[in-house]
Amino acid sequence: MRIGINTFLYTSPFTTKSVKLFPKFKQWGFETVEIPIEDPSHIDPAKVKAAADKAGLAIGSVCACMGPGRDFRGSPEEQKAGLDYCLALVDQAAAMGCPSVIGPIYSVVGKADAVEPAQQKVEWALVVANLKKLAAHAEAKGVTLCIEPLNRFETDFLNTCDQGLRLIKAVGSKAVKLHLDTFHMNIEEKNQAASIRKAGKHLAHFHACGSDRGTPGGDHIAWPEIVKALKAIGYKGDVVIESFTTDVKVIARAAAIWRKIEPKRDNISVGGLKFLRKALR
Give the range of the structural domain holding residue 260, as residue numbers without chain letter: 2-280
pLDDT given for residue 244 in this prediction: 85
Q: How many angstroms separate the CA atoms of 158 and 145, rounded? A: 15
pLDDT given for residue 259 in this prediction: 87
pLDDT given for residue 247 in this prediction: 83
pLDDT given for residue 166 in this prediction: 98
pLDDT given for residue 245 in this prediction: 84
Count how many domains the chain has: 1
CB 150 within 8 A of CB 159: yes
pLDDT given for residue 108 in this prediction: 97
pLDDT given for residue 65 in this prediction: 97
pLDDT given for residue 64 in this prediction: 98
Give the up-direction half-sphere exposure of residue 261: CA atoms within 13 A in the CB hemisphere: 27
pLDDT given for residue 256 in this prediction: 83
Q: Which residues of the chain have pLDDT under 50?
A: none
Model pLDDT for residues 194-229, shown as the tens digit of each residue: 999 999 999 999 999 999 999 999 999 999 999 999
Look up the CATH number of the domain holding residue 225.
3.20.20.150
